[in-house]
Amino acid sequence: MGIEHPTEPDLHWLRQAIELSRRCTPSTSAFSVGAMIVDVDGTLVADGWSRRDDPHEHAEEAALTRAGTDPRLATATIYSSLEPCSARASRSRTCAELILASGLRRVVFAWREPEIFVDCEGAERLRDAGLTVVEVPSLAPLVRKVNAHLLGA
């Protein structure tokens, strides 16, 4: 499996997810993350951000909850400002597990989760399960800026 490069629509939607992350209530124990689920035709299916409806909610979890069992998930992409988590203390299922269970087949994110809270392997777990995972490190500085309060910056 080769490396897939982001498309112009990928960059657009990922920037939108990063903008959503600015809505997060800042936390000293969790990242501020935004996520958007977009159908193959460019229609927004659902969005979410960390702590949107619950203090322990992750962005991908919020977006997936809003999407429910929408049949478009099978052809949609989830855009997340941060790598989907593979370890979690506050819930029984990680975002990587929720994405796999949803039927989504494509994930685009900007910033690999740094080892501040957990050692994240979300991208690897999703790739190992056969999903297409696109990392866009050129947008990572925008995500780091939103999370500067956690980085000592």
Laid out side by side, the sheet with 77-82 consists of 44-49, 34-38, 77-82, 106-111, 132-135
Beta-strand ranges (E) seen in 17-105 are: 34-38, 44-49, 77-82
Q: Where is 106: in which H helix or E strand?
A: strand 106-111
Catalytic residue among 4, 19, 57, 60: 60
Bridge partners of residue 79, in order along the sequence: 36, 108
Residue 53 and residue 40: Cα distance in Å, rounded?
27
Q: Give the tokens for residue 18.
A: 């990063």
In the residue annotation, 121 being an active-site residue is answered as: no
Catalytic positions: 60
